[in-house]
């Protein structure tokens, strides 16, 4: 398989379908140090050269104190490729890690989000691209369904709360099998994050479940992704989307 061609096709499909990138956009890719975000960066740089529209691409990394190895080799790799890369030590996140070492993902993500908007403002970009993959979308769907009582995954495209930035996830159709192979083929010095190695988490359990099921059903994730784009609202239980002669109601059924 030609990895680059496959990636360009899948990312191009996502960008086009969800109108992620438009003429004149200035896109900043959040590089987490892992294979996914660096793959995304490389693919967007290739697309910026080939696409019929003009857009620019730069990269940034937020240091929250969770990398297991120095980030410098990755920085050197990016600089050697002539990529505009900003490394941002987020002091509030580092303090949080010292003061509340056991903090959860909610707090960590909130700190990261604030830092990301701060960097985006400094860089003068209008689009922020994240490296969430098809695996992340599938896991999010299952996690939300099973643990939050909501049928939802992740938004492929959305805007920041104040409307300043378009937030995009162009790897929605790209599996981690593909990003691993691509990052490996380019010799990208991946820097692992401590959290990615955590065991006993819901995320890890879902990953293991997918791994096991995929041995017998190799197209499982493709099917789940297709299902997310092909919702049959008549076979779900949300009265807002049901067609019937009498509008159904969310009110509880009266007990006589």
Q: Compute the least distance from the CB of residue 55 to ligand SF4, in Å.
A: 28
Residue appearing with tokens 């059903």: 217
Among 49-57, 68-76, 104-112, 143-151, the segment contacting ligand SF4 (CB under 6 A): 104-112
193 in contact with ligand SF4 (CB under 6 A): yes
142 in contact with ligand SF4 (CB under 6 A): no
CB-wise, 34 or 47, nearer to ligand SF4? 34
What residues contact 33, with CB distance under 8 A and at least 6 apart?
61, 67, 71, 74, 190, 191, 192, 193
Instruction: Give the total of residues touching ligand SF4 (CB under 6 A).
Output: 6
132 in contact with ligand SF4 (CB under 6 A): no
Binding-site member from 100, 109, 145, 152 for ligand SF4 (CB under 6 A):
109
CB-wise, 12 or 65, nearer to ligand SF4? 65
Answer yes or no: are the C-beta atoms of 32 and 191 closer than 8 Å: no
105 in contact with ligand SF4 (CB under 6 A): yes
* CB-CB neighbours of 84 under 10 Å: 13
CB-wise, 154 or 193, nearer to ligand SF4? 193
84 in contact with ligand SF4 (CB under 6 A): no
Q: Compute the least distance from the CB of residue 167 to ligand SF4, in Å.
A: 16
Q: Compute the least distance from the CB of residue 220 to ligand SF4, in Å.
A: 24
Specify the 3-state DSSP secondary structure of 67. strand
CB-wise, 34 or 189, nearer to ligand SF4? 34
Specify the 3-state DSSP secondary structure of 222. helix
Site string for ligand SF4, 56-75 (x = CB under 6 A): ----------x---------
Strand order in the sheet with 85-89: 85-89, 56-63, 26-30, 127-129, 166-168, 157-159
Answer yes or no: are the C-beta atoms of 175 and 137 closer than 8 Å: no
What residues contact 219, with CB distance under 8 A and at least 6 apart?
none
For the chain, where are the alpha helices, taking DSSP H only? 3-17, 35-50, 72-80, 91-99, 105-123, 134-147, 176-186, 202-216, 220-228
Q: Compute the least distance from the CB of residue 186 to ligand SF4, in Å.
A: 24
Site string for ligand SF4, 4-43 (x = CB under 6 A): ----------------------------------------
What residues contact 69, with CB distance under 8 A and at least 6 apart?
191, 192
Binding-site member from 46, 108, 186, 224 for ligand SF4 (CB under 6 A):
108
195 in contact with ligand SF4 (CB under 6 A): yes
Specify the 3-state DSSP secondary structure of 118. helix
97 in contact with ligand SF4 (CB under 6 A): no
The burial of 235, by beta-carbon neighbours within 10 Å (0-12 exposed, 13-18 middle, 19 or more buried), is given as exposed
Q: Give the CA count within 13 Å in the CB-facing half-sphere of 4.
A: 7
Binding interface with ligand SF4 (CB under 6 A)? 66, 105, 108-109, 193, 195
């Amino acid at each position: 398989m030609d990895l680059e061609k496959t990636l360009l096709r899948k990312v191009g499909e996502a960008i086009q379908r969800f109108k992620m990138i438009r003429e004149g956009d200035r896109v900043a890719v959040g590089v987490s140090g892992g294979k996914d975000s660096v793959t995304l960066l490389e693919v967007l740089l290739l697309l910026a050269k080939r696409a019929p529209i003009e857009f620019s691409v730069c990269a940034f990394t937020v240091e929250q104190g969770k990398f297991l190895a120095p980030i410098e080799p990755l920085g050197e790799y990016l600089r050697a490729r002539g990529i505009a890369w900003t490394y941002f030590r987020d002091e509030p996140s580092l303090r949080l890690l010292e003061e509340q070492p056991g903090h959860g993902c909610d707090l960590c993500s909130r700190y990261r989000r604030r830092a990301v908007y701060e960097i985006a403002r400094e860089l003068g970009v209008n689009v922020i691209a994240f490296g969430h993959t098809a695996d992340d979308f599938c896991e999010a769907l299952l996690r939300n369904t099973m643990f939050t009582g909501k049928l939802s995954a992740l938004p492929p495209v959305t805007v920041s709360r104040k409307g300043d930035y378009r937030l995009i996830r162009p790897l929605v159709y790209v599996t981690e099998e593909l990003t691993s192979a691509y990052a490996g083929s380019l010799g990208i010095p991946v820097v692992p994050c401590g959290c990615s190695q955590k065991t006993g988490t819901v995320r890890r359990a879902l990953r293991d479940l997918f791994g096991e099921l995929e041995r017998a059903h190799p197209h499982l994730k493709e099917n789940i992704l297709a299902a997310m784009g092909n919702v049959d609202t008549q076979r779900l239980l949300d009265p807002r989307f049901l067609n019937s002669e009498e509008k159904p109601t969310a009110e509880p059924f009266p007990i006589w």
